[in-house]
């Protein structure tokens, strides 16, 4: 019975925690500019993240080591320092973007400038991290995040042509604007398959003391949770395609994105969109901060754990506090949160091979996963998609950013 409760809670919180600044902004842009045509990118990214999440949980449950600690042990600190630094930089950028997303959500409702909300929101994130253990953070945020199901409901209320939706799951070339199309495909993948998720999930598996005999819970949670989460992202894309696309509104700000709820929800549109954006971004901000503490502590061999008294894991606490403060400084400078989000998620795809490929090596090393090594098809698929995504990102990200 307890295993079943764990499973249901795991799936529900995965759905609630799936959508945040990156997935909302990239799916809204894709829908407004290319209709349903980029749904395949959401599907591919969802499959990739489900496979990677399942593997990171399996690694942690069998080896009793989280991903960052296992990579450090297997490859050494000299190998890990570059991807680690890159991941930390992207985590800070993403964290600033998520805090900016919460601030924009407050601005949508109150009308007051978003920069003034940055510090109070940062303070709230830190208080949550200081006061609560892993279970409250994971389940509390995941359950609140179920408000993002409003994107699925809105897509359903708008009565899309389901045959068109299904056809868009097969990749196709756009009529024009290939560069923009490729850039959005890259950002959708980057927004979904964040390295922080892998570290966070594997650390969570260790915190929850999942054992080898309960690997089925990990598999079911990863695949069912991520697939339902992917449906929420598709809901954003379909809603945007049906409401903003026909008006030729290209999403360049969250204020524009919020308009996608006016047709399905009327008076409730802006508060509901703000709640979905705010809760999704706040949850991601807490997870990103906590993850930075996890990674730093695991790589340098410090005591770590959200369930430990903060004084028992002082350097872990200091690490997530420093990352949070750095992100707040970045947010206070006043970067446009939506552009910062797009930049961070695009860069995520560039560094993805450096994170995923060593991980695949670990997943085929019986010293870490015993008999639970990954299959050849999964290995090949993930390696190919990661390398292809990284190469495509290397080409399109500079062209899109520097080419205006």
For the CB of residue 254, give the shortest distance to another protein in the complex, in Å: 9
**Cβ-proximal residues to 115 (8 Å cutoff; 6+ apart), any chain:** 103, 331, 332, 334
Tokens of 94: 């993403």
Instruction: Please report whether residue 262 would count as binding another protein according to CB under 8 A.
Output: yes
Distance, in Å, from the CA atom of 342 to the CA atom of 299, rounded to the nearest integer, reads 28
Of the two residues 248 and 311, which places its CB atom closer to another protein in the complex? 248
Within residues 220-259, the interface with another protein by CB under 8 A covers 245-250, 252-253, 255-256, 258-259
Q: Which stretch binds another protein (CB under 8 A): 161-169, 198-206, 260-268, 364-372?
A: 260-268
Count interface residues toward another protein (CB under 8 A): 37
Of the two residues 212 and 252, which places its CB atom closer to another protein in the complex? 252
The mark string for 41-80 relative to another protein (x by CB under 8 A, - otherwise) is ----------------------------------------
Of the two residues 30 and 324, which places its CB atom closer to another protein in the complex? 30
Instruction: Please report whether residue 392 would count as binding another protein according to CB under 8 A.
Output: yes
Q: Which residue has the tokens 């799916």?
A: 27
Of the two residues 57 and 278, which places its CB atom closer to another protein in the complex? 278
CB neighbours of residue 8 within 10 Å = 13
Q: What are the distances in angstroms from CA 71 to CA 58, 211, 348?
A: 14, 20, 19
Within residues 103-142, the interface with another protein by CB under 8 A covers 107-111
In 193-267, which residue ranges form alpha helices assigned H by DSSP? 195-207, 215-220, 226-243, 254-258, 262-265
Instruction: Please report whether residue 177 would count as binding another protein according to CB under 8 A.
Output: yes
| Nearest of 18, 61, 158 to residue 369 by alpha carbon | 61
Q: What are the distances in angstroms from CA 243 to CA 155, 180, 249, 276?
A: 10, 20, 9, 18
- Tell me the DSSP string of 126-156: HHHHHH--HHIIIIIHHHHGGGGGHHHHHHH
Among 81, 179, 325, 329, which residue interacts with another protein (rule: CB under 8 A)? 179
Among 163, 267, 311, 376, which residue interacts with another protein (rule: CB under 8 A)? 267
Of the two residues 33 and 98, which places its CB atom closer to another protein in the complex? 33
The residues of the shown chain that bind another protein, judged by CB under 8 A, are 107-111, 171, 173, 176-179, 181-182, 245-250, 252-253, 255-256, 258-259, 262, 266-267, 269-270, 388, 392, 395-396, 399, 403-404
């Amino acid at each position: 019975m307890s295993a079943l409760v764990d499973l249901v809670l795991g799936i529900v919180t995965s759905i609630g925690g799936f959508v945040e600044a990156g997935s909302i902004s990239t799916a809204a842009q894709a829908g407004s500019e290319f209709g349903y045509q980029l749904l395949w990118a959401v599907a591919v990214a969802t499959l990739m993240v489900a496979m990677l999440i399942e593997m990171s949980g399996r690694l942690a449950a069998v080896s009793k080591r989280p991903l960052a600690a296992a990579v450090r042990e297997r490859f050494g600190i000299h190998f890990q320092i570059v991807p680690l630094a890159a991941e930390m930089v992207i985590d800070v950028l993403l964290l600033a973007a998520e805090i900016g997303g919460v601030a924009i959500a407050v601005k949508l409702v109150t009308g007051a400038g978003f920069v003034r909300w940055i510090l109070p929101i940062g303070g709230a994130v830190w208080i949550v991290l200081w006061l609560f253990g892993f279970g409250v953070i994971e389940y509390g945020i995941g359950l609140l995040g179920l408000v993002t199901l409003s994107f699925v409901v809105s897509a359903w209320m708008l009565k899309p042509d389901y045959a068109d939706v299904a056809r868009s799951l097969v990749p196709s070339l756009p009529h024009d604007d290939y560069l923009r199309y490729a850039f959005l495909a890259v950002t959708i993948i980057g927004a979904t398959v964040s390295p922080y998720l892998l570290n966070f999930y594997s650390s969570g598996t260790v915190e929850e003391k999942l054992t080898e005999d309960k690997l089925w819970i990990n598999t079911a949670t990863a695949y069912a949770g991520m697939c339902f989460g992917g449906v929420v992202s598709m809901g954003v894309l379909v809603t945007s395609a049906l409401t903003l696309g026909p008006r030729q509104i290209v999403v360049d700000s969250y204020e524009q994105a919020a308009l996608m709820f006016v047709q399905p929800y009327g008076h409730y549109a802006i508060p509901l969109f703000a709640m979905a954006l705010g809760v999704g971004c706040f949850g991601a901000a807490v997870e990103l901060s906590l993850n930075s503490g996890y990674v730093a502590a695991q790589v340098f061999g410090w005591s770590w754990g959200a369930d430990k008294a903060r004084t028992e894991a002082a350097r872990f606490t200091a690490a997530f506090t420093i990352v949070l403060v750095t992100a707040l400084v970045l947010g206070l400078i006043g970067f446009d949160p939506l552009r910062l989000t797009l930049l961070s998620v695009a860069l995520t795809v560039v560094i993805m091979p450096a994170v995923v490929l060593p991980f695949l090596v670990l997943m085929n090393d019986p010293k870490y996963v015993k008999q639970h090594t990954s299959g050849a098809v999964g290995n090949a698929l993930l390696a190919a998609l990661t390398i292809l995504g990284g190469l495509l990102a290397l080409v399109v990200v500079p062209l899109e950013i520097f080419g205006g």
